[in-house]
Structure 1
Amino acid sequence: MTSAPSLPVPHAPARARIAEGLFRFAVRRVPVTVELPGGERIGAGGPRLRINQPRAFFHRLGADAKIGFGESYLACEFTAVDDLADALTPFAARMATLVPPPLQALRRFVDARKPRAERNTITGAQANISRHYDLSNDLFAEFLDETMTYSAAWFHDDNEDLAAAQRRKIDGILDLAGVRDGTRLLEIGTGWGELALRAARRGAQVTTLTISAEQQTLARKRLAEAGVADRVEVVLRDYREARGSYDAIASVEMIEAVGEEYWPAYFATLDRLLVPGGRAALQAITMPHDRMLATRRSYTWIHKYIFPGGHLLSREAIADAVDRHTTLHVGGQRSLGDSYARTLRLWRQRFLDAWPRIAGLGFDETFRRMWEFYLAYSEAGFRSRYLDVLQVGLTKP
């Protein structure tokens, strides 16, 4: 089903020497231990990473650090001796300062740019989404919980299971949007149908939009099995092509796939489709505003391998887009960042435990390392508070 990507080692000797110097300088101040061949150890002490092939590792960092670090993990050029997320979290906590400020000014000359082919036009967005969400419904079923929910859960205590925390998260969004019996609800981003299912059980009439054919198929099946298919329409349609009037709109971790170029269209769509007095509720992954501005043009490992066309917002960017492009008002907000770190750890554990069955679906060892790195890297972002995830309520006068 998927084959290992070709990962030739780039030849960048001058940049590799610079990268090695910067890496050694940065790691001296980071509470990790980096082991190199021959017994050398660098770092301030802590979770251990082992560089197996220093030449390849530093050439990748020199050629493109934002992509090369993750690619080096895929190629087994470095490994985690201890837990991978534990080792990545100290780096995530120092993301803004790992590279000395004078060198950060050179970012525009060395960072790869996002490919124009991955712009989130209507056709481009469908292709981008398909590359991730249409991998295989069976793959996602192996590591998600019974609700098939692929976004941050909301945990109340350490003993709570993942499915209960996911249902709390969904109910939180529905409450922010004021969904009750008789509500006409639009959902932007169906997932595999759990939010639509719970809204229908409240008595809402739901239209839910997706641009993933795989998700549409399974969502319809799950809704029919739950006995609510008569109250939910699952439509294969881009949000920009939506029509109608709705009392409420819900959209959970879909805005990350919109792209900065289309934020005005996304928020204007919410405004256009909501009736006066209507309410919308978003769940959005955020990053610090200064880091968003500094990296807005960068092409990263996550873009290349996991979420093409993706772009995170900041709290400020959400408020600015709402102010500039809508008549809506920002209302209640809650942060679920700590819960997302736990969600990602559970997904990674379940993914690795299920690997023999996932491999049986046709996925190879490089895919396993790719997804292990993606889930650990994301967990590190939330554990370090570099990333957050917000539930945001919006109201239309």
Structure 2
Amino acid sequence: MTTFRAIPLAAPPRSPGRAWLAERLFRLGVARLPVHVRLPGGELLGRGGPVMRIERPAFFHRLGTGSTIGFGEAYVAGDWTSPDPAAVLTPFAARMATLVPRPLQVLRRFVDARRPVGERNTPDGARANIHRHYDLSNDLFGTFLDESMSYSSAWFGPGDDLHTAQLRKIDGVLDLARVGPGSRVLEIGTGWGALAIRAARRGATVTTLTISSEQRDLARSRIAEAGVADRVEVLLRDYREAAGSYDAVVSVEMIEAVGEEYWPAYFATLRRVLAPGGRISLQAITMPHDRMVATRHTQTWITTYVFPGGQLLSVPAVEEHARAAGLAITARRSLGEHYASTLRQWRDRFTAAADRVSELGFDERFRRIWEFYLAYCEAGFRSRYLDVWQFGLARH
């Protein structure tokens, strides 16, 4: 377990001019939204809907000096509250590109932060970035994940609980890559071993790569407990160091940690290790292409407080980089609505486990960061601003 070291949440900068402008823009944007916003003096804004309470004027100072990062920081600081933050955030996410009138969007360059150079996903940088998230504590993730310890979108069928839906998702990934008896499988991004175990039980032999020592250790233990250690090898290794030739290459929501600078290297690796006639199965979170282009160099609340170095692709970006690497997309399915449901269940579990999270050494501020993170992501998928796809790929 790594010691939790969050970036300190500074007191709201006093910037009356920016706070005044932020309040005017906020009022203008909220007036068109199906939300119910109560200001500190009791004034109501919005067209009605989920309730957001602005508790103190510091909210507008954070918004004026930090834009979307300030919006999240204000929640963590208690400057705004809501009985259901995901419901409040959903209409904001649905209108992400138009909340600020286009003529005024030029002002964002004065408040949007640039991505830190120190968080580039070089081999060493990627390990440091992953360490800050995945090595927090296996027990922490266990407070809200299902028993498979799957930290990616589930795929719900009628009446499925979360665990059943996670196994359905894993089977979908394995089916796209045609994993069966005798398959040689490379997994890029081990997680806590659920997919490797499932593939081994199909009769495959699996090599799985991770750069998280915490994940490696627990994955090895879980694989041994499942009785498939003779068919699964867990390596602490960067995807760029992958070696060998495989009938199937699978990677579930790992590409979000690669970074635009290294997308060509990632897809080139997929092509390099894929045996002739083999198949690739890739699960990836996506965002609209125009927003990806507009925000590609921008630091966000998520990359500041939760996923340093993280960056989402768009579907056209996946298509472009796959094609450039000599790969063709043979199948695709969207699971965006399923991710919204997955995140809702994770957030409910995390909130219910507040006492256990405290016992693990994580304070109230950490819990509010993660409550906002899970709500923020749920809103992205519920509004369809975000999506998640399973892609099947093959050599050209």
Fold shared per TM-score above 0.5:
yes
1:15: Cα distance to partner? 1.3
Partner amino acid, structure 2, of 1:21: R
Structure 2 CA distance for aligned equivalents of residues 243 and 258 of structure 1: 18
CA displacement at 1:30 relative to structure 2? 0.5
Cα drift, residue 264 of structure 1: 0.3
Q: Match for residue 33 of structure 2? A: 30
Q: 1:51 corresponds to which residue?
A: 54
1:156 is aligned to 157
Aligned to 1:298: 298
Query: How many percent of aligned residue pairs carry the same amino acid?
Result: 67
Q: Cα distance, 1:40 vs. partner?
A: 0.8
Distance 1:39 1:106 in 2: 29
User: How big is the shift at 1:3?
Assistant: 6.4
Cα deviation, residue 108, structure 1: 3.6
TM-score under structure 2 length normalisation? 0.97
Instruction: Determine if contact 2:155/2:165 at 8 Å carries over to the other structure.
Output: yes
Distance in 2 (alpha carbons) for counterparts of 1:277 and 1:283: 20
Aligned amino acid, residue 103 of structure 1: L
The C-alpha deviation readout for 1:69-121, integer Å capped at 9, x for no partner, is 000011001100x3111111111111111011112234444321000000000
Render the CA deviation track for 1:200-226: whole Å, top value 9, x for unaligned: 001111000000000000000000000
Distance 2:266 2:104 in 1: 35
User: Is contact 1:3–1:364 with CA below 8 Å preserved after alignment?
Assistant: no
Q: Report the CA distance between 1:339 and its aligned residue.
A: 0.4
Q: Which amino acid aligns with 1:343?
A: T
C-alpha distance in 2 between matches for 1:106 and 1:246: 50
Q: CA deviation at 1:396?
A: 1.5
Equivalent AA in structure 1 for residue 142 of structure 2:
A
Task: Give the paired residue count.
Answer: 393
Q: Which residue does the alignment assign to 2:323?
A: 323
Distance in 1 (CA, whole Å) between partners of 2:169 and 2:5 is 35
Aligned partner of 1:75 in structure 2 is 77
Alignment of 1:143-222 (within 5 A): 143-157=144-158, 159-222=159-222
Mark the runs of 5 or more structure 1 residues left unpaired by the alignment. Answer: none
2: CA distance between counterparts of 1:32 and 1:124?
40
What SS class does the counterpart of residue 111 from structure 1 fall into? Answer: coil
Tell me the alpha carbon deviations over residues 241-292 of structure 1, each in whole angstroms, 9 at most, x when there is no partner: 1111111100000000000010000000000110111110000000111111
Task: Please give the alpha-carbon distance, in whole angstroms, between the structure 2 residues aligned to 1:115 and 1:11.
Answer: 24
What are the superposed Cα offsets for residues 118-158 of structure 1, whole Å, 9 maximum, x if unpaired?
0000000000011010000000111100000000000012x
**Structure 2: where are the runs of 5+ without partners?**
none
TM-score, normalised relative to structure 1: 0.97
Change (3 A) 1:87 1:317: same
How many angstroms apart in 2 are the aligned matches of 1:358 and 1:38?
35
Instruction: Work out whether residues 3 and 363 of structure 1, in 8 Å CA contact, stay in contact via their aligned partners in 2.
Output: no
Match of 1:254 in 2: 254
Task: Specify whether residues 321 and 190 from structure 1 end up closer, same or farther in structure 2 by C-alpha distance, changes over 3 A only.
Answer: same
Which residue in the other structure is 1:41 paired with? 44
Separation in structure 2 between the aligned mates of residue 178 and residue 12 of structure 1, nearest angstrom: 58
Determine whether 1:122 maps to 2:84.
no
Instruction: Give the Cα separation in 2 of the matches to 1:369 and 1:9.
Output: 17
SS at match of 2:185: strand
CA shift, 1:298, in A, is 0.8
- Paired with 1:75 and 1:344, the residues of 2 have a C-alpha distance of 22
Q: CA deviation at 1:314?
A: 0.6
Q: Is the 8 A contact 1:66 1:299 kept in 2?
A: no
2:341 aligns with 342
